[in-house]
Structure 1
Amino acid sequence: MKDINPDDFKVTSKIKLADIPTELDINTSKEQEENALDELQIKLSKKQDIMYAHNRYAFLICLQGMDTSGKDSLIREVFKEFNSRGLVVQSFKTPTSNELEHDYLWRHYTVLPEKGKFSVFNRTHYENVLVTRVHPEYILFERLPGIEKVEDITPQFWVDRMENIKHFENHLSRNGTKILKFYLHMSKEEQRKRLLKRLENQEDNWKFSVGDLKERALWDDYMKYYEEAINATSTDYAPWYIIPADDKGVARYIVAKTIWQELDKLKDIVEPELDDKVKANLEEYRKLLE
């Protein structure tokens, strides 16, 4: 099996999505691929338990990608062995009326991971510089001062919004939250195949939405704004990783290995020791239980 180095997928300089492949041959069988992921699942689970007990760090895993890019199944498979008390998955859809009464980051602040826990954002705060750029009329629902119509939204508005997001992430990082952002990079042709599968397989019909076709027609716009957002916001404290996602199994493995690599760097994560008084009386407690 080809060795995978997560750093090969990290964005450390300006990128052009059109130049980055959406598939990667890791020179292995599906069975070997699944076995490798199983091993990572177990390692992640054990480390997560220690991190939960250590209670100093939190992890925020951000997943972005076009419709059908595999976000849901990736969450299911990568975090399969996690203890549920240490993992929370958040999905962000169209803002509710209550959420629109606050600033655009408010709903994300309210569900950030507690210390010792992982949170997975399935679609993230970046929707505020992606979907709203493709559909700038959505900004009007936020009722921002000075913005009465789409024409009032200047290019500087988006620059400022991405700077705000960077400040948001920097603040989290300085307070112990490790942030990893993954863009599932799928080809338009692969999306076509997956949408057709939803139509052709009865058990997948429920996943199909006419809205997916409308957004697919705006593919080039999305690629442009994804590229701009990734280039503007990939930092040392909150890096972006561009994951080839035409093969879901490969994408899951790369994401899992990246999370493991970052977890393993935290050498100060150790299981807490019992209080000295408790340790001194272990034999007494054992007798009481017996």
Structure 2
Amino acid sequence: MKHIDTSSLKVTQTIQLHKIPTFIDVATSEKKKEKKLQKIREKLSSLQDKMYAHNKYGVLICLQGMDTAGKDSLIREVFKEFNARGVVVHSFKTPNSTELEHDYLWRHYLALPEKGKFSVFNRTHYENVLVTRVHPNYILNENIPGIETVEDITSAFWDNRFESINAFEKHIATNGIIVLKFYLHLSKEEQRQRLLRRLETEKHNWKFSPGDLKERELWDAYQNCYEDAINRTSKEYAPWYVVPADNKETCRYLVAKIILETLQQYTDIKEPELEDEVKENIKMYHDKLASEK
């Protein structure tokens, strides 16, 4: 299997999405990719157990991408070996009436991971500078002082929102949450093919919505907003990775690899040592249990 330097996918300077490939050839079969992913899954599961015992860090995985980019199946395949209590997936949809009574980051704060656990945001707080930027009329539902019409939503409004997002991520990173953000980079043609498969395969018909086609017509607007958001918010404490997503198996493998490689850098993550008294008496405790009848 071709070696992929995952650091090349990390956004460390200004990018242009149209210049980044949506497909990467790893020169191996789907079966071999699955085997590689399986090994990474097992290592991640073991590491999560260790992180739970260590009780210092939480991990926040943020997934963004156009419709059909493969977020749901990636979550299923990458985290399937985890202890079910070690990972929580949050799929953020249109804010409900309770959420709209708070600022736009409120519901995301509530979903942050506990120490020793993973939270996966399937669509994230970035929807507030993506969907709302393409459809600024949605901002009016937030009932923000001084924002009465779409015309009130100036470039300064978006500047402030990006500053808030950066501050939010820096704050949680400083307090022990490891933040990794992935943009699943899908081509427009591959999206077309995946939407067609939803229509042609009866068991997948339920996934299709006419709204998918309306949003597809806004492809360029979304690409511009994604590019701007990624460039403004990829920081060392909360980096973005642009992962080619035209091949789902390769995309899953690369995301899992990046997560594992990042966590392996935290060499302080270890199981807590037993107290000296317990250590000294392990044999006694063992003999006592072994002798019970």
Confirm or deny that 1:282 pairs with 2:282. yes
**Cα distance between partner residues in 2 of 1:135 and 1:199:** 26
Which amino acid is 1:114 matched to?
A: E
**Cα distance between partner residues in 2 of 1:280 and 1:204:** 59
Alpha-carbon offset, residue 289 of structure 1: 2.2
Partner of 1:44: 44
Which amino acid is 1:77 matched to?
A: E
> Over residues 229-253 of structure 1, what are the superposed CA-to-partner deviations in whole Å (9 max), with x where a residue is unaligned?
0000000100000000000001001
Q: How does 1:29-178 map to 2 (within 5 A)?
A: 29-178=29-178
> Over residues 142-172 of structure 1, what are the superposed CA-to-partner deviations in whole Å (9 max), with x where a residue is unaligned?
0000110100100110011011000000001
| Structure 2 residues not aligned, in runs of 5+ | none
**Cα distance between partner residues in 2 of 1:101 and 1:255:** 35
Which amino acid is 2:58 matched to?
A: A
Alpha-carbon offset, residue 5 of structure 1: 1.4
Alpha-carbon offset, residue 278 of structure 1: 1.9
| DSSP-derived class of the 2:285 partner | helix
**Cα distance between partner residues in 2 of 1:97 and 1:276:** 54
User: Normalized against structure 1, the TM-score is what?
Assistant: 0.98
**Cα distance between partner residues in 1 of 2:190 and 2:179:** 28
Q: How does 1:244-283 map to 2 (within 5 A)?
A: 244-283=244-283
| DSSP-derived class of the 1:289 partner | helix
| DSSP-derived class of the 1:12 partner | coil
Which amino acid is 1:85 matched to?
A: R
User: Normalized against structure 2, the TM-score is what?
Assistant: 0.97
| DSSP-derived class of the 1:73 partner | helix
| DSSP-derived class of the 2:183 partner | strand
Moved more, 274-283 or 171-180: 274-283
Alpha-carbon offset, residue 51 of structure 1: 0.8
> Over residues 63-97 of structure 1, what are the superposed CA-to-partner deviations in whole Å (9 max), with x where a residue is unaligned?
00011000000000011111111111111000000
| DSSP-derived class of the 2:146 partner | coil
Which amino acid is 2:205 matched to?
A: N
Partner of 1:2: 2
Partner of 1:18: 18
Which amino acid is 2:263 matched to?
A: L
> Over residues 36-59 of structure 1, what are the superposed CA-to-partner deviations in whole Å (9 max), with x where a residue is unaligned?
111111111111111111010111
Alpha-carbon offset, residue 62 of structure 1: 0.2
**Cα distance between partner residues in 2 of 1:4 and 1:52:** 30
Moved more, 77-86 or 107-116: 77-86
Which amino acid is 2:258 matched to?
A: T
| Structure 1 residues not aligned, in runs of 5+ | none
Alpha-carbon offset, residue 276 of structure 1: 1.8
Confirm or deny that 1:229 pairs with 2:229. yes
Which amino acid is 2:47 matched to?
A: K
**Cα distance between partner residues in 1 of 2:5 and 2:114:** 29
> Over residues 87-140 of structure 1, what are the superposed CA-to-partner deviations in whole Å (9 max), with x where a residue is unaligned?
111110000000000000000001100111111000000000000000000000
Which amino acid is 1:117 matched to?
A: K
**Cα distance between partner residues in 2 of 1:164 and 1:224:** 20
**Cα distance between partner residues in 2 of 1:179 and 1:279:** 36
Alpha-carbon offset, residue 280 of structure 1: 2.4
| DSSP-derived class of the 1:274 partner | coil
Paired-residue identity, %: 64
Alpha-carbon offset, residue 31 of structure 1: 1.2
Structure 1: 4+ residue segments shifted above 6 A: none
> Over residues 175-203 of structure 1, what are the superposed CA-to-partner deviations in whole Å (9 max), with x where a residue is unaligned?
11110000000001100100110111011
Alpha-carbon offset, residue 281 of structure 1: 2.4
Which amino acid is 2:242 matched to?
A: I
